[in-house]
Structure 1
Amino acid sequence: MARRKVIWHIGPADPGTSFLAEALDARASELASLGIAVPTGAWHEVEDKIWRHKGVSILSTPDIARADADKIALRLVGLRDLEVHLVLLARDLPTQVYAAWQDALQHGSSTPLKKYVTRVLDPARDHWQAEDFWAGHDLATILPAFTRAFHADRVHVIATDADADGVWNAFLDVAGITDIERPEVYTPPALKAELDPERVLDITTAWAKLIADRGFDLRGSLISASTTAAAAESAGKKEQLEALAEVLTEATAEIERLRAEVEELRAENERLDSKRLKHKRRVERLRAELTAID
């Protein structure tokens, strides 16, 4: 009998890797032909599908990286007695910071990139934007929260390329999957913020030490990837504007989709209201006829 195995992408909560869930769903049929399930839905439905599938299941929920201990425990208890592998896909830090800033703009922030970087890299981390960023990106927090009950060989930290294809291939590689092309789903531009190389080195060195001390499976170098990226040219004004234009285009398309959905719901509601009115009139007519008979 095939052993149930779960390959679970748990973070960081990087907008640049959040496309994985949609991409896996788009390739669910191809993966199913390989005996691999892509469970979706509410968490209890995901658990049920994992247990019903006698083989490998893969899923991506990077925002779970922000969860507190109680929420993590609730997620893990339903997977007890399964062979669960936790995967963290860590792009270089300058790319992660830029993606988080861009995502913040999309959700209404007006903070300039330079100010956002200053707040995030402040060692005190006392600004709410710093707290929000590191809650979902700090491997020194995420790893201990999730891995207390896991063998080191079931925790995989991947220093992945920043582009979408690199992220896609890195995740599938953990599951032993090759030759499945990434589907065309929206992914934000992989641009870089200008970060202090020494600060980046301090952060990534601490992460690397934690991973080495715990004996986790580290693929690639967190230090060299981030420090090289920090030393590279950051996104210029033109690239930033082009990236923001792409984000706005995507947001506009989503607004139009939601507006169309609202119109469909409104039309359906009007149809149901009309149907209810007809039934009400019919009931009133029948009631009047019964009263006349009495």
Structure 2
Amino acid sequence: MTRRKVIWHIGPADPGTAFLADALQGRSLELAERGVSVPTGAWHEIEDQIWKHKGVSLVSTPDISRADADKIALHLTGLRDLEVHLVLLVRDLPTQVYAAWQAGLAHGSTTPLKKYTARLTDPSREHWQAEEFWAGHDLGRILQGWTRAIHAERVHVISVDQDPDASWTALLGAAGVTDLPRPEAFTAPALRAELDPEWVLDVTTAWAKLIADRGFDLQGSVINASAASAGVGAGRSDQLEAVAELLTRATAEVERLTAEVVELRAANERLDAKRLKHKRRVERLRADLSSPS
């Protein structure tokens, strides 16, 4: 009997890997030919699709890394008795910080990069931007919260390059797929924030120690790439170019969604007109039927 197996990308909540869910959906037919299902929808629908598929199911929901204990338990309960593998795709920390700042700009933030990094590196982590970042990026917190009921050999921490192809290849590799190219999709330019090298080394060393102590499957190093790039931030011209490209894409997406809303409203108006017409017709028929012959 074919065993149901779940490969679940749970984080970190790095905007640089957010494209993976749509990319998997874009290659769902090719993956299905290889026996790999890509469940989509609300979580209960994903669970149903996982249980219906006798084979490997591949899921990417990196924002779930922010879940609290109750939400984690709720999600894992529905997968009980399945072979669940948790995958964490970890880009270097300076790149993750820059990507989070960049995503904030796209959603209206006006915080300068230097101030943003200062808030994130403050040991108290009291500012809301720090709390939000670390909730989805602190590897120690994510691993401790998600792995209580998961065998260590089924927890895969994979260090990946900035290039989105690296994340795509790593995730598919975890599902045993090695020959499927990444579909075309926009990913924000991968730049790095300038961070204190000693601070970066302290954070990533603590992560590495936890991974080693718990015996998780580590591919690559969560220390080396971050330590090597910590003191080398993106230049101002590169930052301006990246932000301009991101905002241009965001503006285009807003325009596309606005046009889509206009079309949907027009379609709803047409449907309302038809509904009213049919309602009046029904009322006339009822009146005719109820009148004496």
TM-score in same-fold range (> 0.5)? yes
Partner of 1:238: 237
Flag structure 1 segments of 5+ consecutive residues without an equivalent: none
Partner of 1:293: 292
Tell me the CA shift for residue 170 of structure 1: 1.5
Tell me the CA shift for residue 125 of structure 1: 0.4
Deviations 1:224-268 (A, max 9, x none): 11000113x311111111111111122122112211221121111
Whether 1:166 and 2:163 are equivalent positions in the alignment is no
CA distance in 2, matches of 1:197, 1:106: 27
Aligned length: 293
CA distance in 1, matches of 2:281, 2:38: 49
CA distance in 1, matches of 2:276, 2:92: 60
| Identity of matched residues, % | 72
Partner of 1:149: 149
Tell me the CA shift for residue 279 of structure 1: 2.6
Partner of 1:27: 27
Whether 1:186 and 2:186 are equivalent positions in the alignment is yes
Tell me the CA shift for residue 284 of structure 1: 4.3
Partner of 2:255: 256
CA distance in 2, matches of 1:262, 1:57: 33
User: Judging changes above 3 Å, is the alpha-carbon distance between structure 1 residues 288 and 74 closer, same or farther for their aligned structure 2 residues?
Assistant: same
Secondary structure (helix, strand or coil) at the match of 2:223 reads helix
Partner of 2:38: 38
Partner of 2:69: 69
User: Judging changes above 3 Å, is the alpha-carbon distance between structure 1 residues 81 and 284 closer, same or farther for their aligned structure 2 residues?
Assistant: closer
CA distance in 2, matches of 1:74, 1:165: 32
CA distance in 2, matches of 1:65, 1:126: 19
Tell me the CA shift for residue 288 of structure 1: 4.9
Q: Map 1:61-210; keep pairs closer than 5 Å.
A: 61-210=61-210
CA distance in 2, matches of 1:27, 1:290: 56
Secondary structure (helix, strand or coil) at the match of 1:6 reads strand
Whether 1:270 and 2:269 are equivalent positions in the alignment is yes
TM-score by length of 2: 0.96
User: Judging changes above 3 Å, is the alpha-carbon distance between structure 1 residues 289 and 33 closer, same or farther for their aligned structure 2 residues?
Assistant: closer
Secondary structure (helix, strand or coil) at the match of 2:253 reads helix
CA distance in 2, matches of 1:281, 1:39: 43
Tell me the CA shift for residue 292 of structure 1: 5.3
CA distance in 1, matches of 2:240, 2:143: 35
Alignment root-mean-square deviation, CA? 1.4
CA distance in 2, matches of 1:96, 1:261: 32
CA distance in 2, matches of 1:285, 1:33: 55
* Amino acid of the structure 1 residue aligned with 2:247: L
CA distance in 2, matches of 1:30, 1:67: 31
Secondary structure (helix, strand or coil) at the match of 1:59 reads strand
Whether 1:218 and 2:218 are equivalent positions in the alignment is yes
CA distance in 2, matches of 1:76, 1:268: 40
Partner of 1:247: 246
Deviations 1:6-34 (A, max 9, x none): 11000000000111101111111111111
Deviations 1:35-84 (A, max 9, x none): 11111111111111111111111110000000111111111011100111
Secondary structure (helix, strand or coil) at the match of 1:39 reads coil
CA distance in 1, matches of 2:59, 2:252: 26
